[in-house]
Amino acid sequence: MTPMIKTTLASLLLIAPLSAAHAQMALKLAHAAPTTDTQQQAAERFAELVKEGTDGEITVNIFGNGVLGGDQQMIAGVRSGTIDIEMSGNP
């Protein structure tokens, strides 16, 4: 597991109990790699860990193949708040 995934997961696990209502939350994770790429595999594993670690309160919806744009568009989406998590470059 990469340090980025560990850090993000740890952050999510720390803030999850702070929610008074424990409302369900869905995060958008975007990457431009094909579904056969290791980025997709890492994203799927991250989504599993988040779901397990939060007892299903937080889910991660994966948008691969650049369906939410190229790297620059996805970074802009994170900055504007339309995308929660973005992976770019090679793992």
Indicate the pTM of the whole model: 0.74
CA angle in degrees (0–180, nearest 5) for 39-45-48: 140
29 in Cβ contact with 87 (< 8 Å): yes
**pLDDT, position 87:** 95
Is residue 79's pLDDT more than 60? Answer: yes
**pLDDT, position 23:** 72
Helices (H), the chain: 3-15, 38-53, 71-80
The gap between the terminal CA atoms of the chain, to the nearest Å, is 10
Is residue 84's pLDDT more than 60? Answer: yes
Q: What phi and psi values does residue 14 have, to the nearest 5 degrees?
A: -75, -35
70 in Cβ contact with 77 (< 8 Å): no
Q: Grade residue 7 by pLDDT with cuts at 50, 70 and 90.
A: low
pLDDT digits (tens, 9 = 90+) for 12-52: 666 655 555 567 999 999 999 999 999 999 999 999 999 99
